[in-house]
Amino acid sequence: MSNERKVLVYGASGYTGKLVSESLAQRNIPFYMAGRTQSRLEDALKIVEQRHGAPVDAKIVVASNSPEELRPLFEKVDVVINVSGPFMQLGWPIVETALECNCHYLDTTGEQDWSLAIKEKYGKAFEEKGLLLNPANSYMWAAGALAAEVILETEGIDSLDIVYQIDNGLPSEASTKSFLRMVCNDTSQYYLELNELKSWPNDVVYQVAAPHRNGVIPALPWGGANEPIWFMDDPRVRNCKVLTAIGKDLIEPVAEAIKAFNEQAAHLPQEEKEAWTNAVGDMMDTGEPPKDDMDVQRSVIVCHGQGRQVTKTLLLNMSAPYTWTGDICAEGAQRLLNGQLKKAGYQSAAQAFGHRELLETFHKLGFCNLPE
């Protein structure tokens, strides 16, 4: 691989940004650590080097998320990894400047409305330039897409029912604000039914049965997920639903926050709604969590597939969700630099790089099982 610095991580000082940086360092990929505050970036680099156990080939650059400040940086690179959320609030200049500067764009959003919006506005433009537009390149929601692609190998399956089950979830500050603005929105948490997007109610806690657990567990739409958006135009898929069981200790306070939102803020203009959810996110934030652990933050994605004459179920282990998020971003960047992009435009990682190829890589790295 070339020693040229062709990857930029925007928002690199945050929790996820450090994990992406660490995974890039493990692959010996030189990169820029970009963000708005020099001191925070310097502190982040120290943590990354401590975890990595060696110096890291990263250059710190400071820029706001304005096109004027981003453009000189993006012109130097081929891949932009955006980890600065909430994305609907902060991401527009970043994806627009990436397109303008002919950069592949990856982000770690969990926000379904953001992903749908950039698909509709920029998907075709990225495709015409041979560039990848890859939002939600993270545990949520790339892991479910990998599981879904395995299920869809079985001819005749056209319906997907997915559950993310996570032990001891550790949402970061940015994730907290992102998921609050998602789950409190009662008009844009979508599932796919008979090729149409339909809205989940925002105030219902569901009980799901995971095959590897005795008893039912509570779950939420958690913003709707990105699998329904990736598959909405896929001729193989007619129906797709996703629920997330992230643990009772998180489901209950989120349900209370949704109830308060419906009572206090649902009638407000959108900007004031977002300010309300940001403020609640600040109150819920307990500081940056420790790096997650494969033996503590264990996860299983349950994917059921159904067709006229066939059903199939896959249990995909994908532990340490945040660490894996860093790893799939770095893996995506490496494959892009190596010219291994399979499909340009708006794509999941599974479609962009091949689901079997990615699963083999992450199995070797110890993150997941290897489906038959």
Residues 153-170: tens digit of each pLDDT: 999 999 999 999 999 877
- Looking at the chain, the whole-number percentage of residues with pLDDT higher than 90 is 78
| The pLDDT of residue 18 is above 70 | yes
Find the CATH number of the domain harbouring 154: 3.30.360.10
In tens, the pLDDT along 42-65 reads 999 999 999 999 999 999 999 999
pLDDT given at position 173 = 63
120: containing domain? 7-138+322-364
- pLDDT band for position 248 (50/70/90)? confident
Q: Judge whether 158 lies within some domain.
A: yes
pLDDT at 50: 97
Give Cβ neighbours of residue 144 (< 8 Å, ≥ 6 apart): 162, 164, 225, 227, 242, 301, 303
DSSP designation for 303: E
**108 and 168 belong to one structural domain:** no
Q: Are residues 275 and 178 in the same domain?
A: yes
Beta-bridge partners for 157: 307
**pLDDT score for 87:** 92
Q: Could you tell me if 91 and 39 lie in one domain?
A: yes
For 216-227, write each residue's pLDDT tens digit: 999 999 989 999
What are the start-end ranges of the E strands in 92-226? Answer: 104-107, 132-134, 157-166, 190-193, 196-199, 206-209, 216-219
pLDDT, mean of residues 84-95: 93
Residue 230, domain member (yes or no): yes
Give domain status of residue 372, yes or no. no
Cα(219)–Cα(81) distance, rounded to whole angstroms?
29
Triad 191, 197, 200: Cα angle to 5°: 45
Number of domains in the chain: 2
Residues 118 and 188 in one domain: no
Does 174 have pLDDT greater than 90? no
Answer yes or no: is pLDDT of 327 > 70: yes
Domain co-membership, 263 together with 360 = no
Mean pLDDT of 248-272: 87
Q: Are residues 122 and 25 in the same domain?
A: yes
pLDDT band at 1 (very low <50, low <70, confident <90, very high): very low
Q: Which of 21, 66, 27, 79 is nearest to 46 (CA)?
A: 21
- 309, 169: one domain: yes
Distance CA 164, CA 64 (A): 34
Asked if residue 194 and residue 60 are part of one domain, the reply reads no
Least confident of 89-98, 149-158, 282-291: 282-291
218 shares its domain with 339: no
Is the same domain home to 202 and 116? no
pLDDT at 169: 79
Strands 31-35 and 58-62, sheet pairing: parallel
CA distance 110 to 87: 9
Q: What is the pLDDT of residue 202?
A: 87
**Mean pLDDT (whole number) for 80-102:** 95
Maximum distance among all alpha carbons in the chain?
Answer: 59
Cβ atoms within 10 Å, residue 4: 11
Distance CA 31, CA 33 (A): 7
- Select the more confidently predicted residue: 179 or 75: 75
Q: Is the pLDDT of residue 185 over 70?
A: no
Query: In terms of domains, do 227 and 244 share one?
Result: yes
Inside any domain, residue 369 = no
Q: Would you state the pLDDT for residue 186?
A: 60
Domain boundary pick from 320, 340, 355: 320
188-213 tens-digit pLDDT: 799 999 999 999 998 899 999 999 99
On whether residue 289 sits in a domain, the answer given is yes
3 state SS of 17: helix
> Do 123 and 222 reside in the same domain of the chain?
no
Does pTM top 0.85 for this prediction?
yes
At residue 66, the pLDDT reads 95
Residue 128 lies in a domain: yes
Identify whether 148 is part of a domain.
Answer: yes
Q: Is the pLDDT of residue 2 over 60?
A: no
Confidence of residue 180 (pLDDT cuts 50, 70, 90): confident
